[in-house]
Structure 1
Amino acid sequence: MEGPCHSREEEIMEIRSLRRIISAYLNYSDAALADVKRYERSFKKLSSSHKALLPHLPSKYQSLRRCISINANFILNMIQAFDPPVDMSLDADFDEHSNTEMIGNGQLTASDLKRNAESENCSETEQSTCHDDSYCSEAIPSSNTCANSSPSLNVPLVDVDKVRCIIRNIVRDWALEGKKEREECYKPILEELQRLFPDRSADSPPHCLVPGAGLGRLALEISCLGFLSQGNEFSYYMMICSSFILNYTEAVGQWTIYPWIHSNCNSLSDEDQLRPVQIPDIHLASAGITEGFSMCAGDFVEVYGDARQEGTWDAVVTCFFIDTAHNVAEYIKIIAKILKPGGVWINLGPLLYHFAESYGPDEMSLELSLDDVKKVSFHYGFELEMEKTVATTYTSNPRSMMQVKYNAAFWTMRKRRTEA
């Protein structure tokens, strides 16, 4: 579909944001190694007697360096495979021929990435994409990755923290170790979809949208049930990673990552902290993905608020999503609008409103109780068919001494076929 026109200023802002995200990924190694150096400085300050009690710590710090290097190699392969949905040279204020300026401003262009890859005799990767306002890509597994050295880019540490969060999300969606969380969150949704759509036709599959799709596993599992499934995700941190896993991996356990190395707190043992995780846990090419499975990048309100989306979806599935809104009432209004009459909305998640304490003077955060969320839903034509609570975690380290549990709301609502 064609999206709304964007001004050159908006395009440049998007390009700069994307460069910053890519820079955050590439700065992961330096930031993580800086943490290790901090650990070592603390160890050196110990008295001789205390050092003698903990002689293994220097070896642990060397192991952390090795783990960081392996994570960084995965990230670099991921970035090399990424095909930006915008022309990264459109920023007139950016001199793409000045490598010094690129590094100093924490900016990187697509051509820079390709030149880096070519310098290591790496062939360019290909990705099937349709370039509109939402950047949709057909998720067809293939593989073409390679490693090379990368420049050191300056980005805020908060950006690198987001990269660490992505690494934990990879475990939740694409590792065997994340199976428990997936069974807590995704399995009830999948079972509900099977109950509600028992007769799914391969010739005319029901259409299911998954806003806030993250790294894409739930949307993929829905596709494997015989739905025409589309995941929608706003975060390019997520989209870059999901695109790589969905389109550029060929084998089960093709990649090894170390997701728990970024904190020394609440570990039962060093072995737990340093344990590897293999991804993905399934063979994507033979997973049974329904034709038409796609991931769409873009703001949910902008992409699906379009009039052409009205009445086009049989089901909308939201998992840990509705509390990402500045205005949850707007989310609900759009979900109601895009569903066909009689269509279903399945939701699972808490109400941990993401902007409750971080919005600026020109922004907003509407933080409703669960009762008020349901009240708004009824106003927009929903009828409650099923409701219960599901206890679950989110990107939790299963071997950590600290576990955060959510009593997540789980419901099915149906859009009335006719207005009351």
Structure 2
Amino acid sequence: MSGIDVDEETKRAECEHFENVIKAFLFYREHALNVVSKAEVSFARLPPQHQAILSHLPSKFSTQKRCVDVNQQFLNTIVAHASSFTANSHLLQGAQTEFPFITGQGLDMDKIRCTLRQFVRDWSEDGQAERVQSYKPITDALESYYSHYPMDQRYRLRVLLPGAGLGRLTYDIAKLGFSAQGCEFSYQMLISSNFILNYAPGEKMLALHPWVLSSSNVWDADAHQFKQVLVPDEMPGGLPPNVEFSMVAGDFLEVYRNQRGEWDCVATCFFIDTASNVVQYVEHIHSLLADGGIWINLGPLLYHYSDSADVDSTELSYTELRSLVLHFGFEIKEEAERTCYYTQNPNSMMHTIYNCAFFVAIKKPSRGFVPTPTSVPNVSMTTPYAGNPSPQMYAGERLL
């Protein structure tokens, strides 16, 4: 999107939004200590005889604070590399990553806590079970539908992943030999994926405590609430020859608005319900795919704007969505219901289970043939990929 003309007011607003995300990363410790402080105050107000029964709680609060310090160190490390992200976007030229004083006003701290849990899902051994549930059906479908494509030619197949988060699924697809590009809009995800993909110091060398502020539904605080998780479980890199692996920052509809028919596969995982107008997403995915291209989807329909008072939201049932997919010229080749967790604490007393819709749909070609698990389409490359065994992060244009 480098060709987009953006006025100075838009750039100012974008830098302000980015800086608020950075401030939230840096403010985490103070936010977390306020949470612990509330528990300490509640304990202090108990009757003395009850405090005596629960005399271990001050020690528990101290442990909680130590875990918070570890999390803040982890977040500081991410922020320390954020300037490399801003350098690639003209929208963020001049954006700051250091601040003499930060208040919590207007900062979305819930998203920072979610980011810590996302690291568990994407880049730890503890997240392996969730990745098997959500990512493996997608990678299995890719390998099945392109099973007869020569391994040393897979890099010519271009796979796009909107809503790529921290980039693990994109990386896993690239490891299989496909050229893969993730697109992400959230700055929390973008600066975090920029760090883990490009600057992680080594395998399992970074510690975090993702559940430290979750005091409800805990079986055992020391074993579960204060559990340490190490990331990354695998160092990104060492991809097959010629494979292109990249991440792009921006709105999916904007970044790829001029790439009609340029992608061989679009893979959406927990993504299509992020649309305010899901019709626009289906239409756009269809336009991006080459004739005979594959759309692989897995996810629920938890429409993100359904409760928003100031954003329009069109919410379809799966039956309605399915009819929409067929309307735009897809042929659904596979359908299934998949049970998945999403950034869940496996040791919690409470779990949210998603019964996700999984499908593989083929864009009906105007010529040629429709691929099946035992046949693959001819691939026409508009832009050859150069050999690049290491991941890259590109900051595209992201508009508010």
TM-score (structure 1 length as normaliser): 0.82
1:118-152 C-alpha deviation (Å, 9 max, x unpaired): xxxxxxxxxxxxxxxxxxxxxxxxxxxxxxxx744
- For 1:181, the aligned partner's letter is E
Distance 1:331 1:398 in 2: 32
Give the aligned partner of residue 243 of structure 2: 291
1:200-247 C-alpha deviation (Å, 9 max, x unpaired): 453552100000000100000000011100000010110000110000
**Contact 2:11–2:91, Cα closer than 8 Å, also in 1:** no
Structure 1 alignment gaps of length 5 or more: 92-107, 114-149
Distance 2:276 2:185 in 1: 13
**Residues 80, 87 of structure 1: alpha-carbon distance in 2 compared, 3 angstrom cutoff:** farther
Give the aligned partner of residue 339 of structure 1: 289
Distance 2:92 2:96 in 1: 7
**Residues 418, 285 of structure 1: alpha-carbon distance in 2 compared, 3 angstrom cutoff:** closer
Give the aligned partner of residue 206 of structure 1: 157
Matches for 1:9-408 after TM superposition, within 5 Å = 9-82=9-82, 83=84, 84=86, 85-86=88-89, 109-110=96-97, 113=98, 151-156=100-105, 159-198=108-147, 199-203=149-153, 204-271=155-222, 272-286=224-238, 291-304=243-256, 306-307=257-258, 309-360=259-310, 363-408=311-356
Distance 1:339 1:393 in 2: 29
Counterpart secondary structure, 2:266: strand
- Displacement, 1:330? 0.2
- For 2:236, the aligned partner's letter is L
CA RMSD in angstroms comes to 1.8
Distance 1:330 1:168 in 2: 30
**Residues 260, 302 of structure 1: alpha-carbon distance in 2 compared, 3 angstrom cutoff:** same
Counterpart secondary structure, 1:32: helix
**Contact 1:326–1:365, Cα closer than 8 Å, also in 2:** yes
1:59-116 C-alpha deviation (Å, 9 max, x unpaired): 111111111111101111110111214468868xxxxxxxxxxxxxxxx714xx4xxx
- Displacement, 1:175? 0.7
**Contact 1:30–1:152, Cα closer than 8 Å, also in 2:** no
Distance 1:382 1:274 in 2: 47
**Residues 169, 90 of structure 1: alpha-carbon distance in 2 compared, 3 angstrom cutoff:** closer
- Displacement, 1:287? 6.0
**Residues 177, 10 of structure 1: alpha-carbon distance in 2 compared, 3 angstrom cutoff:** same
- Displacement, 1:405? 0.3
- Displacement, 1:250? 3.5
Alignment length (residue pairs): 361
**Contact 1:20–1:155, Cα closer than 8 Å, also in 2:** no
Counterpart secondary structure, 1:10: helix
**Contact 1:359–1:365, Cα closer than 8 Å, also in 2:** no
Distance 2:268 2:92 in 1: 35
- For 1:297, the aligned partner's letter is A
**Contact 1:200–1:226, Cα closer than 8 Å, also in 2:** no
Distance 1:211 1:33 in 2: 35
Distance 2:272 2:243 in 1: 28
Distance 1:21 1:334 in 2: 29
TM-score (structure 2 length as normaliser): 0.86
- For 1:275, the aligned partner's letter is K
- Higher RCO structure, 1 or 2 (CA under 8 Å, sep 6+): 2
Which 4+ residue blocks in structure 1 deviate beyond 6 angstroms?
Answer: 88-91
Identity %: 40
Distance 2:361 2:48 in 1: 65
**Residues 74, 290 of structure 1: alpha-carbon distance in 2 compared, 3 angstrom cutoff:** farther
- For 2:317, the aligned partner's letter is S
1:334-370 C-alpha deviation (Å, 9 max, x unpaired): 000000000000000000000000140xx31010111
Distance 1:3 1:242 in 2: 25
Counterpart secondary structure, 2:216: coil
**Contact 1:228–1:292, Cα closer than 8 Å, also in 2:** yes
**Residues 385, 26 of structure 1: alpha-carbon distance in 2 compared, 3 angstrom cutoff:** same
**Contact 2:14–2:91, Cα closer than 8 Å, also in 1:** no
**Contact 2:11–2:92, Cα closer than 8 Å, also in 1:** no
Counterpart secondary structure, 1:109: coil
